[in-house]
Amino acid sequence: MSSEFNYPTEIKGTRKLYSLLRGIKDPLKVISGNHKIAGDSYYLKATLMDKNFIFSQDKEFIEYILKQNHKNYSKSEIQSVTLAKYLGNGLLTNNGKDWLKQRRLIQPGFSKAKITNLISIMEEVTDHAFRSFKSDMEVDLYDVFHSLAFNIVAKTLFSSDIAEHEVKELSKIITEIQEVFAKEVRIPFSSEVLKFFGVIDKAITKSKRSKAIIQSVLDKRRSSGEQKNDLLDMLIQARYEDTQLPMSDEQLVDEMLILFIAGHETTANALSFIFFEISQNPEAEEKLKKEIAEESEMLFTSESLMKKSFTSNIIKEAMRLHSPAWAIDRQALEDDSFKHYSWKKGTLIILYITGLHRNPKYWKDPDSFIPERFDDENAKNFAYYPFGAGPRLCIGEHFAMMEMALIVRKFYKAFSFKAYDKELKKKAFVTLRTTSLKGRIAKI
Protein backbone atom coordinates (compact mmCIF):
# COMPACT_ATOMS: atom_id res chain seq x y z
CA MET A 1 0.00 0.00 0.00
CA SER A 2 1.40 3.41 -0.99
CA SER A 3 2.39 5.62 1.97
CA GLU A 4 0.77 8.68 0.35
CA PHE A 5 -2.70 7.15 0.79
CA ASN A 6 -4.38 6.15 4.02
CA TYR A 7 -6.59 3.18 3.20
CA PRO A 8 -8.82 1.52 5.84
CA THR A 9 -7.61 -1.53 7.79
CA GLU A 10 -6.14 -4.02 5.34
CA ILE A 11 -7.21 -7.65 5.04
CA LYS A 12 -4.02 -9.62 4.42
CA GLY A 13 -2.20 -12.91 5.00
CA THR A 14 -4.24 -16.09 5.32
CA ARG A 15 -7.47 -14.10 5.72
CA LYS A 16 -6.82 -12.39 2.39
CA LEU A 17 -6.19 -15.75 0.70
CA TYR A 18 -9.36 -17.13 2.31
CA SER A 19 -11.29 -14.05 1.10
CA LEU A 20 -10.13 -14.45 -2.50
CA LEU A 21 -10.85 -18.20 -2.59
CA ARG A 22 -13.99 -18.52 -0.43
CA GLY A 23 -15.44 -15.28 -1.78
CA ILE A 24 -16.11 -17.04 -5.07
CA LYS A 25 -18.83 -19.24 -3.59
CA ASP A 26 -20.01 -17.32 -0.54
CA PRO A 27 -19.24 -13.59 -0.82
CA LEU A 28 -21.79 -12.61 1.85
CA LYS A 29 -20.13 -14.78 4.50
CA VAL A 30 -16.64 -13.60 3.53
CA ILE A 31 -17.42 -9.88 3.34
CA SER A 32 -19.48 -9.97 6.57
CA GLY A 33 -16.63 -11.86 8.29
CA ASN A 34 -14.07 -9.33 7.11
CA HIS A 35 -16.17 -6.46 8.46
CA LYS A 36 -16.34 -8.19 11.86
CA ILE A 37 -12.54 -8.39 11.86
CA ALA A 38 -11.64 -5.00 10.37
CA GLY A 39 -14.63 -2.74 11.14
CA ASP A 40 -17.13 -0.95 8.92
CA SER A 41 -14.60 -0.20 6.17
CA TYR A 42 -11.66 -2.32 5.05
CA TYR A 43 -9.08 -2.49 2.28
CA LEU A 44 -8.07 -5.43 0.14
CA LYS A 45 -5.26 -5.42 -2.42
CA ALA A 46 -5.74 -7.92 -5.24
CA THR A 47 -2.03 -8.15 -5.98
CA LEU A 48 -2.23 -10.44 -9.00
CA MET A 49 -4.73 -8.12 -10.70
CA ASP A 50 -3.08 -4.96 -9.32
CA LYS A 51 -6.41 -3.66 -8.07
CA ASN A 52 -7.29 -1.84 -4.84
CA PHE A 53 -10.65 -2.51 -3.19
CA ILE A 54 -12.38 -0.68 -0.36
CA PHE A 55 -15.41 -2.44 1.16
CA SER A 56 -17.73 -0.42 3.38
CA GLN A 57 -20.92 -0.84 5.39
CA ASP A 58 -20.59 2.61 6.96
CA LYS A 59 -23.61 4.87 6.34
CA GLU A 60 -21.65 8.13 6.09
CA PHE A 61 -19.06 6.65 3.73
CA ILE A 62 -21.79 5.16 1.51
CA GLU A 63 -23.63 8.49 1.36
CA TYR A 64 -20.38 10.29 0.50
CA ILE A 65 -19.76 7.99 -2.47
CA LEU A 66 -23.37 7.89 -3.75
CA LYS A 67 -24.48 11.43 -2.94
CA GLN A 68 -22.02 14.09 -1.78
CA ASN A 69 -19.19 13.29 -4.20
CA HIS A 70 -21.00 11.09 -6.74
CA LYS A 71 -19.42 12.98 -9.67
CA ASN A 72 -16.03 11.44 -8.83
CA TYR A 73 -17.44 7.91 -9.15
CA SER A 74 -18.61 5.85 -12.09
CA LYS A 75 -20.05 2.38 -12.25
CA SER A 76 -16.95 0.19 -11.94
CA GLU A 77 -15.50 -1.81 -14.82
CA ILE A 78 -17.13 -4.83 -13.13
CA GLN A 79 -20.45 -3.64 -14.59
CA SER A 80 -19.52 -1.09 -17.26
CA VAL A 81 -17.17 -3.54 -19.05
CA THR A 82 -17.61 -7.13 -17.84
CA LEU A 83 -21.39 -7.17 -17.41
CA ALA A 84 -21.96 -4.80 -20.34
CA LYS A 85 -20.51 -7.29 -22.82
CA TYR A 86 -23.48 -9.54 -22.04
CA LEU A 87 -26.27 -7.03 -21.37
CA GLY A 88 -25.23 -4.09 -23.54
CA ASN A 89 -25.08 -0.41 -22.59
CA GLY A 90 -28.39 0.18 -20.85
CA LEU A 91 -29.08 2.21 -17.69
CA LEU A 92 -27.58 -0.47 -15.42
CA THR A 93 -24.17 -0.59 -17.11
CA ASN A 94 -23.79 2.83 -18.75
CA ASN A 95 -21.71 5.72 -17.40
CA GLY A 96 -21.19 9.45 -17.71
CA LYS A 97 -22.96 11.58 -20.31
CA ASP A 98 -24.31 8.52 -22.16
CA TRP A 99 -25.99 7.31 -18.96
CA LEU A 100 -27.42 10.77 -18.23
CA LYS A 101 -28.89 11.07 -21.76
CA GLN A 102 -30.57 7.67 -21.42
CA ARG A 103 -31.85 8.40 -17.91
CA ARG A 104 -33.48 11.63 -19.08
CA LEU A 105 -35.19 9.81 -21.94
CA ILE A 106 -36.54 6.98 -19.80
CA GLN A 107 -37.36 8.78 -16.51
CA PRO A 108 -40.79 10.16 -17.64
CA GLY A 109 -42.02 6.60 -18.19
CA PHE A 110 -41.65 5.92 -14.45
CA SER A 111 -43.44 8.97 -13.05
CA LYS A 112 -46.01 8.28 -10.33
CA ALA A 113 -48.80 9.32 -12.70
CA LYS A 114 -47.66 6.82 -15.36
CA ILE A 115 -47.27 4.03 -12.80
CA THR A 116 -50.74 4.66 -11.35
CA ASN A 117 -52.25 3.96 -14.77
CA LEU A 118 -50.68 0.48 -14.76
CA ILE A 119 -52.50 -0.91 -11.70
CA SER A 120 -55.35 -2.54 -13.62
CA ILE A 121 -52.86 -4.43 -15.84
CA MET A 122 -50.87 -5.54 -12.77
CA GLU A 123 -54.10 -6.77 -11.17
CA GLU A 124 -55.11 -8.72 -14.26
CA VAL A 125 -51.73 -10.46 -14.59
CA THR A 126 -51.60 -11.24 -10.85
CA ASP A 127 -55.16 -12.62 -10.77
CA HIS A 128 -54.29 -14.87 -13.71
CA ALA A 129 -51.19 -16.18 -11.91
CA PHE A 130 -53.09 -16.91 -8.68
CA ARG A 131 -56.15 -18.43 -10.38
CA SER A 132 -54.77 -21.97 -10.21
CA PHE A 133 -54.05 -21.77 -6.45
CA LYS A 134 -56.18 -23.93 -4.21
CA SER A 135 -56.15 -25.00 -0.60
CA ASP A 136 -53.50 -27.48 0.56
CA MET A 137 -51.59 -27.01 -2.68
CA GLU A 138 -47.83 -27.53 -2.74
CA VAL A 139 -45.99 -24.76 -4.61
CA ASP A 140 -42.58 -23.22 -5.23
CA LEU A 141 -43.33 -19.51 -4.99
CA TYR A 142 -39.86 -18.62 -6.27
CA ASP A 143 -40.82 -19.95 -9.71
CA VAL A 144 -44.28 -18.36 -9.52
CA PHE A 145 -42.86 -14.93 -8.69
CA HIS A 146 -40.25 -15.00 -11.45
CA SER A 147 -42.87 -15.79 -14.06
CA LEU A 148 -45.38 -13.31 -12.59
CA ALA A 149 -42.90 -10.41 -12.30
CA PHE A 150 -41.66 -11.04 -15.84
CA ASN A 151 -45.19 -10.98 -17.25
CA ILE A 152 -45.99 -7.79 -15.34
CA VAL A 153 -42.97 -6.04 -16.88
CA ALA A 154 -43.88 -7.36 -20.35
CA LYS A 155 -47.49 -6.22 -20.18
CA THR A 156 -47.18 -2.97 -18.22
CA LEU A 157 -44.05 -1.47 -19.78
CA PHE A 158 -44.17 -3.00 -23.24
CA SER A 159 -47.82 -4.14 -23.68
CA SER A 160 -46.38 -7.41 -24.96
CA ASP A 161 -47.48 -11.01 -24.79
CA ILE A 162 -44.25 -12.97 -24.72
CA ALA A 163 -44.75 -16.71 -25.08
CA GLU A 164 -44.29 -18.75 -21.91
CA HIS A 165 -41.39 -20.69 -23.43
CA GLU A 166 -39.64 -17.40 -24.23
CA VAL A 167 -40.14 -16.20 -20.66
CA LYS A 168 -38.53 -19.39 -19.38
CA GLU A 169 -35.73 -19.18 -21.94
CA LEU A 170 -34.92 -15.58 -20.99
CA SER A 171 -34.98 -16.43 -17.28
CA LYS A 172 -32.62 -19.37 -17.88
CA ILE A 173 -30.25 -17.23 -19.98
CA ILE A 174 -30.16 -14.51 -17.31
CA THR A 175 -29.27 -17.06 -14.61
CA GLU A 176 -26.54 -18.67 -16.72
CA ILE A 177 -25.02 -15.32 -17.66
CA GLN A 178 -24.97 -14.25 -13.99
CA GLU A 179 -23.13 -17.45 -13.06
CA VAL A 180 -20.43 -16.80 -15.69
CA PHE A 181 -20.24 -13.13 -14.70
CA ALA A 182 -19.78 -14.04 -11.01
CA LYS A 183 -16.82 -16.31 -11.86
CA GLU A 184 -15.27 -13.64 -14.07
CA VAL A 185 -15.24 -10.94 -11.40
CA ARG A 186 -14.41 -13.09 -8.36
CA ILE A 187 -11.63 -15.38 -9.61
CA PRO A 188 -8.28 -13.79 -10.60
CA PHE A 189 -7.43 -14.34 -14.29
CA SER A 190 -10.64 -16.33 -14.72
CA SER A 191 -11.59 -14.38 -17.87
CA GLU A 192 -8.64 -15.89 -19.75
CA VAL A 193 -9.46 -19.42 -18.53
CA LEU A 194 -13.19 -19.08 -19.27
CA LYS A 195 -12.39 -17.63 -22.68
CA PHE A 196 -9.98 -20.48 -23.46
CA PHE A 197 -12.66 -23.09 -22.70
CA GLY A 198 -15.28 -21.22 -24.73
CA VAL A 199 -17.47 -20.40 -21.70
CA ILE A 200 -17.53 -16.66 -22.38
CA ASP A 201 -18.31 -17.14 -26.08
CA LYS A 202 -21.23 -19.41 -25.15
CA ALA A 203 -22.53 -16.81 -22.69
CA ILE A 204 -22.27 -14.08 -25.35
CA THR A 205 -24.17 -16.31 -27.80
CA LYS A 206 -26.91 -16.73 -25.19
CA SER A 207 -26.91 -12.98 -24.67
CA LYS A 208 -27.46 -12.47 -28.41
CA ARG A 209 -30.38 -14.89 -28.23
CA SER A 210 -31.95 -12.89 -25.37
CA LYS A 211 -31.57 -9.69 -27.42
CA ALA A 212 -33.16 -11.42 -30.42
CA ILE A 213 -36.22 -12.22 -28.28
CA ILE A 214 -36.43 -8.56 -27.19
CA GLN A 215 -35.92 -7.38 -30.78
CA SER A 216 -38.92 -9.50 -31.82
CA VAL A 217 -41.06 -7.57 -29.30
CA LEU A 218 -39.85 -4.30 -30.83
CA ASP A 219 -40.43 -5.54 -34.41
CA LYS A 220 -43.91 -6.75 -33.54
CA ARG A 221 -44.83 -3.31 -32.18
CA ARG A 222 -43.52 -1.49 -35.23
CA SER A 223 -45.25 -3.81 -37.73
CA SER A 224 -48.57 -3.58 -35.87
CA GLY A 225 -48.70 0.19 -36.29
CA GLU A 226 -50.55 0.37 -32.95
CA GLN A 227 -50.18 3.18 -30.42
CA LYS A 228 -50.19 1.70 -26.92
CA ASN A 229 -49.12 4.80 -24.96
CA ASP A 230 -46.72 2.63 -22.92
CA LEU A 231 -43.01 2.86 -22.14
CA LEU A 232 -42.08 1.14 -25.40
CA ASP A 233 -43.98 3.75 -27.44
CA MET A 234 -42.25 6.47 -25.44
CA LEU A 235 -38.81 4.94 -26.09
CA ILE A 236 -39.47 4.56 -29.82
CA GLN A 237 -40.72 8.14 -30.12
CA ALA A 238 -38.11 9.74 -27.79
CA ARG A 239 -35.58 12.10 -29.37
CA TYR A 240 -32.22 13.23 -28.00
CA GLU A 241 -32.13 16.93 -27.09
CA ASP A 242 -28.91 17.66 -28.96
CA THR A 243 -29.47 15.78 -32.25
CA GLN A 244 -33.26 15.28 -32.32
CA LEU A 245 -32.50 11.71 -33.44
CA PRO A 246 -34.22 8.61 -32.01
CA MET A 247 -32.43 5.79 -30.23
CA SER A 248 -30.86 3.19 -32.48
CA ASP A 249 -32.45 -0.28 -32.42
CA GLU A 250 -29.34 -1.57 -30.68
CA GLN A 251 -29.72 0.98 -27.87
CA LEU A 252 -33.47 0.38 -27.66
CA VAL A 253 -32.95 -3.38 -27.27
CA ASP A 254 -30.22 -2.81 -24.64
CA GLU A 255 -32.55 -0.58 -22.61
CA MET A 256 -35.47 -2.99 -22.97
CA LEU A 257 -33.31 -5.94 -21.90
CA ILE A 258 -32.05 -4.09 -18.82
CA LEU A 259 -35.61 -3.08 -17.89
CA PHE A 260 -36.83 -6.66 -18.34
CA ILE A 261 -34.02 -8.01 -16.16
CA ALA A 262 -34.02 -5.31 -13.48
CA GLY A 263 -37.80 -5.04 -13.52
CA HIS A 264 -38.47 -8.70 -12.89
CA GLU A 265 -35.32 -10.14 -11.31
CA THR A 266 -35.05 -7.91 -8.23
CA THR A 267 -38.82 -7.84 -7.64
CA ALA A 268 -39.19 -11.62 -7.93
CA ASN A 269 -36.30 -12.16 -5.52
CA ALA A 270 -37.67 -9.58 -3.07
CA LEU A 271 -41.13 -11.23 -3.15
CA SER A 272 -39.58 -14.59 -2.27
CA PHE A 273 -37.91 -13.01 0.77
CA ILE A 274 -41.09 -11.14 1.75
CA PHE A 275 -43.30 -14.25 1.66
CA PHE A 276 -40.69 -16.27 3.53
CA GLU A 277 -40.57 -13.71 6.35
CA ILE A 278 -44.37 -13.49 6.56
CA SER A 279 -44.47 -17.29 6.77
CA GLN A 280 -42.05 -17.23 9.70
CA ASN A 281 -43.90 -14.47 11.55
CA PRO A 282 -47.59 -15.32 12.18
CA GLU A 283 -48.21 -12.11 14.14
CA ALA A 284 -47.10 -10.02 11.16
CA GLU A 285 -49.38 -12.07 8.90
CA GLU A 286 -52.37 -11.46 11.17
CA LYS A 287 -51.64 -7.74 11.29
CA LEU A 288 -51.33 -7.68 7.48
CA LYS A 289 -54.68 -9.45 7.05
CA LYS A 290 -56.30 -6.99 9.47
CA GLU A 291 -55.04 -4.09 7.36
CA ILE A 292 -56.30 -5.78 4.19
CA ALA A 293 -59.78 -6.09 5.73
CA GLU A 294 -59.76 -2.48 6.97
CA GLU A 295 -58.70 -1.04 3.59
CA SER A 296 -61.83 -2.62 2.11
CA GLU A 297 -62.65 -1.24 -1.36
CA MET A 298 -59.57 1.05 -1.24
CA LEU A 299 -57.25 -1.97 -1.04
CA PHE A 300 -55.92 -1.89 -4.62
CA THR A 301 -56.11 1.83 -5.33
CA SER A 302 -52.89 3.68 -6.08
CA GLU A 303 -53.40 5.87 -2.99
CA SER A 304 -53.58 2.84 -0.70
CA LEU A 305 -50.80 0.87 -2.41
CA MET A 306 -48.33 3.76 -2.38
CA LYS A 307 -49.01 5.21 1.05
CA LYS A 308 -47.15 4.31 4.24
CA SER A 309 -48.79 1.15 5.59
CA PHE A 310 -48.10 -2.11 7.38
CA THR A 311 -47.92 -3.73 3.94
CA SER A 312 -45.10 -1.36 2.95
CA ASN A 313 -43.44 -1.89 6.35
CA ILE A 314 -43.33 -5.65 5.72
CA ILE A 315 -41.83 -5.13 2.26
CA LYS A 316 -39.20 -2.70 3.57
CA GLU A 317 -38.23 -4.92 6.48
CA ALA A 318 -37.88 -8.02 4.31
CA MET A 319 -35.73 -6.02 1.88
CA ARG A 320 -33.63 -4.80 4.79
CA LEU A 321 -32.90 -8.35 5.90
CA HIS A 322 -32.45 -9.68 2.34
CA SER A 323 -31.64 -6.83 -0.02
CA PRO A 324 -31.67 -8.07 -3.65
CA ALA A 325 -29.21 -5.28 -4.49
CA TRP A 326 -26.76 -6.67 -1.95
CA ALA A 327 -23.78 -4.51 -3.00
CA ILE A 328 -23.17 -1.40 -5.10
CA ASP A 329 -19.89 -0.92 -6.96
CA ARG A 330 -18.16 2.32 -7.88
CA GLN A 331 -14.73 3.27 -9.23
CA ALA A 332 -12.81 6.44 -8.29
CA LEU A 333 -12.20 8.74 -11.27
CA GLU A 334 -9.63 10.76 -9.29
CA ASP A 335 -7.75 10.45 -5.97
CA ASP A 336 -10.14 11.05 -3.08
CA SER A 337 -10.47 11.11 0.70
CA PHE A 338 -13.17 10.87 3.35
CA LYS A 339 -12.51 11.72 6.98
CA HIS A 340 -9.17 10.06 7.82
CA TYR A 341 -9.15 7.69 4.82
CA SER A 342 -7.71 8.46 1.39
CA TRP A 343 -7.36 6.39 -1.77
CA LYS A 344 -6.04 6.69 -5.28
CA LYS A 345 -7.72 7.01 -8.65
CA GLY A 346 -9.02 3.68 -9.96
CA THR A 347 -9.79 2.25 -6.51
CA LEU A 348 -12.84 -0.02 -6.63
CA ILE A 349 -15.40 0.77 -3.94
CA ILE A 350 -17.79 -1.99 -2.87
CA LEU A 351 -20.66 -0.57 -0.83
CA TYR A 352 -21.93 -3.56 1.13
CA ILE A 353 -25.67 -2.91 1.45
CA THR A 354 -26.36 -6.26 3.15
CA GLY A 355 -23.90 -5.33 5.90
CA LEU A 356 -25.29 -1.79 6.21
CA HIS A 357 -28.82 -3.16 6.62
CA ARG A 358 -27.75 -5.45 9.47
CA ASN A 359 -25.20 -3.18 11.09
CA PRO A 360 -25.91 -3.05 14.87
CA LYS A 361 -24.56 0.52 14.89
CA TYR A 362 -27.73 1.58 13.05
CA TRP A 363 -30.27 -1.13 13.83
CA LYS A 364 -31.60 -2.49 17.11
CA ASP A 365 -32.01 -6.30 16.91
CA PRO A 366 -30.61 -6.18 13.36
CA ASP A 367 -31.29 -9.84 12.54
CA SER A 368 -34.92 -9.78 13.69
CA PHE A 369 -37.94 -9.22 11.46
CA ILE A 370 -39.66 -6.16 12.94
CA PRO A 371 -41.81 -4.35 10.33
CA GLU A 372 -42.99 -1.84 12.96
CA ARG A 373 -39.52 -0.25 13.04
CA PHE A 374 -40.48 1.59 9.84
CA ASP A 375 -43.30 3.38 11.71
CA ASP A 376 -40.55 5.54 13.22
CA GLU A 377 -40.92 9.18 12.14
CA ASN A 378 -37.17 9.18 11.39
CA ALA A 379 -37.44 6.17 9.04
CA LYS A 380 -36.47 8.31 6.04
CA ASN A 381 -33.05 8.80 7.60
CA PHE A 382 -32.42 5.13 8.36
CA ALA A 383 -29.27 3.41 7.08
CA TYR A 384 -31.41 1.88 4.37
CA TYR A 385 -30.69 1.83 0.64
CA PRO A 386 -32.38 -1.16 -1.06
CA PHE A 387 -32.78 0.88 -4.27
CA GLY A 388 -29.45 2.69 -4.04
CA ALA A 389 -29.17 6.46 -3.52
CA GLY A 390 -28.16 9.66 -5.23
CA PRO A 391 -28.58 10.38 -8.96
CA ARG A 392 -28.44 6.66 -9.78
CA LEU A 393 -31.30 5.76 -7.44
CA CYS A 394 -33.22 2.92 -9.08
CA ILE A 395 -35.54 4.39 -11.71
CA GLY A 396 -38.18 1.73 -10.97
CA GLU A 397 -38.42 2.14 -7.18
CA HIS A 398 -42.05 3.36 -7.11
CA PHE A 399 -43.06 0.83 -9.77
CA ALA A 400 -41.54 -2.04 -7.74
CA MET A 401 -43.00 -0.94 -4.40
CA MET A 402 -46.51 -0.61 -5.85
CA GLU A 403 -46.20 -3.94 -7.66
CA MET A 404 -45.01 -5.78 -4.53
CA ALA A 405 -47.72 -4.20 -2.34
CA LEU A 406 -50.37 -5.27 -4.87
CA ILE A 407 -49.09 -8.87 -5.06
CA VAL A 408 -48.79 -9.21 -1.26
CA ARG A 409 -52.32 -7.93 -0.72
CA LYS A 410 -53.82 -9.95 -3.58
CA PHE A 411 -52.36 -13.15 -2.15
CA TYR A 412 -53.08 -12.62 1.55
CA LYS A 413 -56.65 -11.47 0.87
CA ALA A 414 -57.42 -14.99 -0.32
CA PHE A 415 -54.60 -17.28 0.83
CA SER A 416 -51.98 -18.11 3.41
CA PHE A 417 -48.57 -19.71 2.81
CA LYS A 418 -46.37 -21.89 4.99
CA ALA A 419 -42.77 -22.33 3.86
CA TYR A 420 -41.20 -25.73 4.46
CA ASP A 421 -37.74 -24.41 5.29
CA LYS A 422 -36.91 -22.39 8.39
CA GLU A 423 -33.89 -20.83 6.70
CA LEU A 424 -33.44 -19.59 3.16
CA LYS A 425 -30.54 -20.66 0.99
CA LYS A 426 -29.19 -17.58 -0.78
CA LYS A 427 -27.01 -17.04 -3.83
CA ALA A 428 -25.27 -13.73 -4.45
CA PHE A 429 -24.96 -13.08 -8.17
CA VAL A 430 -25.60 -9.61 -9.61
CA THR A 431 -28.64 -9.75 -7.34
CA LEU A 432 -29.26 -11.72 -4.16
CA ARG A 433 -31.68 -14.56 -4.75
CA THR A 434 -32.89 -17.71 -3.07
CA THR A 435 -32.87 -21.04 -4.89
CA SER A 436 -36.48 -21.94 -4.10
CA LEU A 437 -39.40 -21.14 -1.78
CA LYS A 438 -41.32 -24.36 -1.42
CA GLY A 439 -44.31 -24.63 0.84
CA ARG A 440 -48.04 -25.16 1.09
CA ILE A 441 -50.91 -22.79 0.31
CA ALA A 442 -54.05 -22.58 2.40
CA LYS A 443 -57.19 -20.89 1.06
CA ILE A 444 -58.88 -18.52 3.49
Q: Among residues 142, 130, 115, which one has the least CA distance to residue 322?
A: 142
Distance of CA 239 to the CA centre of its chain: 28
Eight-class DSSP state of 230: S
DSSP string over 95-150: -HHHHHHHHHHHGGGGSHHHHHTTHHHHHHHHHHHHTT--TTEEEEHHHHHHHHHH
DSSP string over 257-300: HHHHHHHHHHHHHHHHHHHHHHHH-HHHHHHHHHHHHHHGGGTT
Distance CA 50, CA 73 (A): 19
Paired with 416 in beta bridges are 442
E strand or H helix at 379, and its extent? none
Q: Is 394 annotated as a binding residue?
A: yes
Sorted by sequence, the CB contacts under 8 Å of residue 169 that are 6+ apart come out as 209, 213
Pair type for strands 137-140 and 438-443: antiparallel
> Which residues does the annotation place in the binding site?
394
> Which residues does the annotation place in the binding site for heme?
394
